[in-house]
Amino acid sequence: MASEWLKSLKISVINEDIDTIIKLTQNFKQNEFENLDQLNEAASLTSLAIELFKSKKVHLEGEMQKLLNAKKYAN
């Protein structure tokens, strides 16, 4: 079960599929992992997902600022 979870998370991170990453992390069950290597891989993928979220946040903040500037200009 853990190997499927890891595979799904890896694919989701690569594809930058935020919705699936959220669903997978909400269903994280540490006791299903077979060994420390799998837990380390999960931790690494989770770190990558966090960096992805941060990157998306910065991008969205920039887009929101552009919209606010355009709104200000239009008024």
Check residues 71 and 50 and name the one with the higher pLDDT: 50
Report pLDDT digits (tens) over 4-17. 999 999 999 999 99
Report pLDDT digits (tens) over 55-74. 999 999 999 999 999 988 88
Q: How many domains does the chain have?
A: 1
Handedness of CA 27, 17, 4, 46 (dihedral sign): negative
The DSSP annotation for 42-71 comes to HHHHHHHHHHHHHHHHHHHHHHHHHHHHHH
Report how far apart, in Å, the C-alpha atoms of 47 and of each of 16, 42, 56, 57, 71 are.
13, 9, 14, 15, 36
> Which domain does 23 fall in, by range?
2-74
CA pair distance 24, 36, nearest whole angstrom:
19
pLDDT at 39: 93
